[in-house]
Chain A
Amino acid sequence: MRLLYKHSRYILLTNLLILLLGGILFYVLFNYIIDRNIRSTLYERRDFAREKLAFSDSLYVFQNFSYHIFSIKRLPKEYPFTVTEQISDTAIFDPLRKEASLYRQLTFTDNLRGQPFQITVRRPLIDDFEILRGIVASLLVLAMVLGLALYFSNRIVSKKLWQPFYITLSTLKDYQLDERIEPQFPKTNVREFNELIEAVTRLIERTRRDYLNLKEYSENTTHEIQTPLAIIQSKLELLQEHDLSIEQLQLVNAANLAVSRLARLKETLLLLVRIKNNQYIDAQPVEVAKLIASRLAYFEELMEMKQIRLSKQLDEQAKLLINLPVAEILVDNLISNAIKYNIPGGELTLELTNTMLRIRNNGKAPTKPTSTFFNRFVKSDSNSRSLGLGLSIVKAICETNQLSVEYHYQDNYHQISIYFPGQ
Chain B
Amino acid sequence: MKILVVEDEEELLDSISTYLTKEGYLCERASTYTTANQKIIMFSYDCCLIDIGLPDGNGLKLIKKLKQYQPNTGSIIISARHSLDDKVQGLDIGADDYLTKPFHLQELNARLKSVFRRRMQQGNSVICFEEIKLVPDTFEAYVHEKLLQLTKKEFDLLLYLINNRNRVIPKQNLAEHLWGDYIDEVGSLDFVYTHIKNLRKKILESGGKDYLKTIYGVGYKFTNA
Query: What count of chain A residues pass the 8 Å CB interface test?
Result: 47
Contact B218 A237 (CB under 8 A): no
Give B97-124 as 1s and 0s: 1 = Cβ < 8 Å from A's Cβ atoms: 0001111111000000000000000000
B84: chain A residues within 8 A (beta carbon): 280, 325
Contact of A416 with B by CB under 8 A: no
Contact B172 A298 (CB under 8 A): no
Question: Known contacts A227-B12, A246-B215, A249-B215: does B187 contact A256 (CB below 8 Å)?
Answer: no
Question: Known contacts A237-B106, A253-B170, A253-B219: does B101 contact A227 (CB below 8 Å)?
Answer: yes
Q: How far is the CB of A320 from chain B (nearest CB, A)?
A: 18
Contact B185 A246 (CB under 8 A): no
Contact A231 B12 (CB under 8 A): yes
Report the nearest A residue to B183, measured CB to CB: A264
Of the stretches A1-9, A48-56, A299-307, A310-318, the one at the interface is A299-307
Contact of B184 among A234, A240, A264, A280 (CB under 8 A): A264
Question: Known contacts A256-B172, A339-B185: does B80 contact A270 (CB below 8 Å)?
Answer: no
Contact of A382 with B by CB under 8 A: no
Contact B186 A230 (CB under 8 A): no
Q: How far is the CB of B63 from chain A (nearest CB, A)?
A: 20
Contact B219 A226 (CB under 8 A): no
* A260→B174 CA distance, assembly (Å): 12
Give A247-276 as 1s and 0s: 1 = Cβ < 8 Å from B's Cβ atoms: 001101100110110011001101100100
Chain A contact surface mostly? helix
Give B168-193 as 1s and 0s: 1 = Cβ < 8 Å from A's Cβ atoms: 10101000100000111111100100
Q: How far is the CB of A346 from chain B (nearest CB, A)?
A: 14
B100: chain A residues within 8 A (beta carbon): 267
Q: How far is the CB of A414 from chain B (nearest CB, A)?
A: 16
Q: How far is the CB of A228 from chain B (nearest CB, A)?
A: 9
Contact of B92 with A by CB under 8 A: no
Contact A233 B218 (CB under 8 A): no
Contact of A241 with B by CB under 8 A: yes
Contact of A371 with B by CB under 8 A: no
Contact of B143 with A by CB under 8 A: no
9 closest Cβ pairs, A-B complex: A234-B15, A336-B185, A230-B102, A230-B101, A253-B218, A233-B102, A229-B102, A237-B105, A231-B11
